[in-house]
Amino acid sequence: MEPVRLINVGYGNVVQANRIICIINPDSASSKRLRNEAKESQLLIDATQGRKTRAIIITDSNHVILTAMLPETLSQRFNVPATVVAHVESVGV
């Protein structure tokens, strides 16, 4: 069984990496529409802790996750090799 990779999306919140479909910028009209539709469907998760939304994560379950981290930062965390993640987990960091 493959270990579950979790991506830190800020302020102690994590998302399962294999469930993420895309990470988008929240400033476009279409992303604002997507956010509103997710809120109406009760599929919106706000992980910003009251801060400005800087990225929107879309999952395979149609959940929309708001985060205060930049898309570039999230994509760097997403692209960390699995061996590094496994090492960090084994060390307990």
Contacts 24+ apart (CB under 8 A), 84-91: 85/5, 86/3, 89/3
Q: Give the pTM.
A: 0.83
End-to-end CA distance of the chain: 22
| pLDDT in the model for residue 81 | 61
pLDDT in tens, 29-86: 999 999 999 999 999 999 999 999 999 999 999 999 999 999 999 988 877 665 444 4
